[in-house]
């Protein structure tokens, strides 16, 4: 019997340490435990990992996702036939609807147990546009004054999918043709609360856990008070110093940590096909 191959991975971080590229792996095959531990450690350290040159089938994408953790639940979007845990983010050249994911958000933060990780694999990358921007919510928190941190510490943010997927949400009002099948639901209008500042279960770092798309307000505050606090935080979080801009290449896998990041999908590729496949990994209740 052949000895298990030991793989030394090459991690190249962005200058700020937020975001990194990982080479030296073949994700079409299961990773040895030691190598998988290195990947998970790099993911916790850098928040966003890019794995270039990974020509993954849907089955291989699913298998690697399960090495990171069990699948998360992906509501309000119809999954791929035969692959209930894979979403195809597809936009045809003639589509005029706003590109999917166009507002700042942390994936499914309106769930009681939001996903820890999202994985996105590029199949068809347009020649222009389509970057994904990420915000370092941990560093954004750490640069706040001690007085502001103390004020935010006990607060609970109100999350909901209603603005996007609710009965009066963006997709319910949409008139343009869209290839992706969005499921508008009254369930999306429900609300729940999470700590406005959450602690990462691996690193112990605190991060702001709010977003313009899914955060409606702050528990116990008036709408004007919530708007003032959240408006300040959203402006603070999305400053250039906290942003990593990811430029896609074909057959690239991206994995990010929803517990300490927000992201936004840019458009700018009208007239071109773009196809991505997405999975999520279950997380834990924010605390």
Per the DSSP assignment, residues forming a β-bridge with 244 are 134
Give the pLDDT band of residue 7 (cuts 50, 70, 90): low
Residue 8 pLDDT? 78
Mean pLDDT of the chain: 96
Q: How far is CA 78 from CA 82, 83, 116, 119, in A?
A: 11, 10, 21, 17
Residue 167 token pair:
């009965």
Residue 272: which of 91, 89, 101, 99 has the closest Cα?
A: 91
Q: What is the pLDDT of residues 154-164, one digit of tens each?
A: 999 999 999 99
Give the span between the Cα atoms of 186 and 24, in whole angstroms. 46
| Residues annotated catalytic, as ranges | 105, 107, 263, 278
Give the CA count within 13 Å in the CB-facing half-sphere of 6.
2
Question: Above 80 in pLDDT, residue 48?
Answer: yes
Q: Name the more confident of 5 and 86.
A: 86
Q: Is 207 exposed, middle or buried (0-12, 13-18, 19+ CB in 10 A)?
A: buried
Question: Above 70 in pLDDT, residue 4?
Answer: no
Q: What is the pLDDT of residues 219-268, one digit of tens each?
A: 999 999 999 999 999 999 999 999 999 999 999 999 999 999 999 999 99
| Inter-helix orientation angle 58-68/33-46, to 10° | 80
Q: What is the pLDDT of residues 61-115, one digit of tens each?
A: 999 999 999 999 999 999 999 999 999 999 999 999 999 999 999 999 999 999 9
Question: Above 90 in pLDDT, residue 218?
Answer: yes
Instruction: Say how far residue 124 (Cα) sits from the centre of its chain.
Output: 19
Contacts 24+ apart (CB under 8 A), 141-150: 141/197, 141/206, 141/207, 141/208, 142/205, 142/206, 143/236, 144/236, 149/197
Question: Domain 10-281 falls in which CATH fold?
Answer: Double-stranded beta-helix (3.60.130)
Residue 6 pLDDT? 55
Per-domain residue ranges of the chain? 10-281
Check if the beta carbon of residue 252 is closer than 8 Å to that of residue 131: no
Residue 190 pLDDT? 98
């Amino acid at each position: 019997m052949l000895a298990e191959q030991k793989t030394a991975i090459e991690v190249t971080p962005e200058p700020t340490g937020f975001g990194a590229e990982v080479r030296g792996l073949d994700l079409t095959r299961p990773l040895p435990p030691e190598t998988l531990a290195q990947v998970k450690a790099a993911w916790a350290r850098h928040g966003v990992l890019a794995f270039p040159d990974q020509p993954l089938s849907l089955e291989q994408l699913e298998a690697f996702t399960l090495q990171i953790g069990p699948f998360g639940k992906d509501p309000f979007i119809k999954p791929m036939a035969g692959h209930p845990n894979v979403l195809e983010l597809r936009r045809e050249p003639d589509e005029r609807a706003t590109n999917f994911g166009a507002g700042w958000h942390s994936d499914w933060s309106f769930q009681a147990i939001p996903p820890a990780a999202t994985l996105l694999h590029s199949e068809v990358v347009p020649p222009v546009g389509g970057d994904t921007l990420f915000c370092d919510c941990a560093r954004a928190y750490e640069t706040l004054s001690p007085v502001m941190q103390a004020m935010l510490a006990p607060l609970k943010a109100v999350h909901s999918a209603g603005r996007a997927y609710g009965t009066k949400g963006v997709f319910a009002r949409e008139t343009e043709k869209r290839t992706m099948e969005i499921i508008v639901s009254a369930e999306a209008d429900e609300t729940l609360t999470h700590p406005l500042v959450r602690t990462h279960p691996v690193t112990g770092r605190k991060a702001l856990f709010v977003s313009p798309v899914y955060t409606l307000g702050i528990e116990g505050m008036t709408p004007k008070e919530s708007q003032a606090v959240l408006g300040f935080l959203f402006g603070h979080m999305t400053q250039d110093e906290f942003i990593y801009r990811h430029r896609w290449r074909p057959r690239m896998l991206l994995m990010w940590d929803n517990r300490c990041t927000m992201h936004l999908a840019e458009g700018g590729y009208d007239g071109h096909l773009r196809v991505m496949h997405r999975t999520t990994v279950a997380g834990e209740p924010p605390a």
